[in-house]
Structure 1
């Protein structure tokens, strides 16, 4: 892909992410996206010939890194290091893909009517794997006998809230936007909370 093509696609996805996050799938038109992206509507269709394909690109911009976020859990033997890397990665995704994350959250909260089946299937498979890995650590005595399912839900909520509820967090913090130090502090706090709360032991 040429540099210009990628730049134009990235711009369209960024604009679409904001509009889908603000107005949802049904409330956002391709004409509005083209106008906000400052390109003729035919140019938008050159890159994404349907609204569904553009919406999928927005969802993929966050679900792809979300699916890759569990790699430490799959690849690292030490549960403390695996959970540390997973939490840090999830927070980075919330920082760098906040608008696409909000779009994904809105999609899920409305029953996922437009979520492509292959993405939904991959996310479900990942969730089942994470739960099975937590169960394995518990069985090996590397973690307290907590609920694997609820631990996973808590990790989702505590990391993705920094994207999905960014406005509320900034209101409480008294700032226009969160900075890198805020995310570093969040990571340190969540890692400490999970490792101590679940009594996660080093391998």
Structure 2
């Protein structure tokens, strides 16, 4: 048997995703990295939290299904040992904080169904497809270290930070300098607070 290793996150650099790998078993229990040969699209597939091998297309070889944070469900079909990205067969708009994944013939019709577990409703953000949560990661204050900004869409559709002025300025002190009062901060959208060019440069996910 060969082995898939899903990368979850880079320590100290959330939400950067590390490499995911396919390891080839030589039959003697020794594994070598065959990702570039078998499935180069897997290297930067995302922050993997769940995986399952199953014969999705009925050709008697194992295909690979993946889920993860800030990503859609991904499917890679096995074509004589090479895994090809066929994720478009799913609704790729269903980006989520997926936690788990399982495959079974649930309705007894002879083909496989996919069950995925998302973060659920027991969280303080309550994102939706219409109003997703946004995350940005970059050195936004020029200190040489990466900053994270979480943002949500208000009832008026404007994107604003999840954290208030106090918490935001603890991470990036320039916030207090530019927005001297809580009222000034409350009237500013995300682009006004952090700069449209800075946010465009940042690593950005939406779910």
The TM-score with structure 1 as length reference comes to 0.20
Structure that is richer in helix per residue: 1
Structure that is richer in strand per residue: 2
Give 1 or 2 for the bigger CA radius of gyration: 2
The TM-score with structure 2 as length reference comes to 0.20
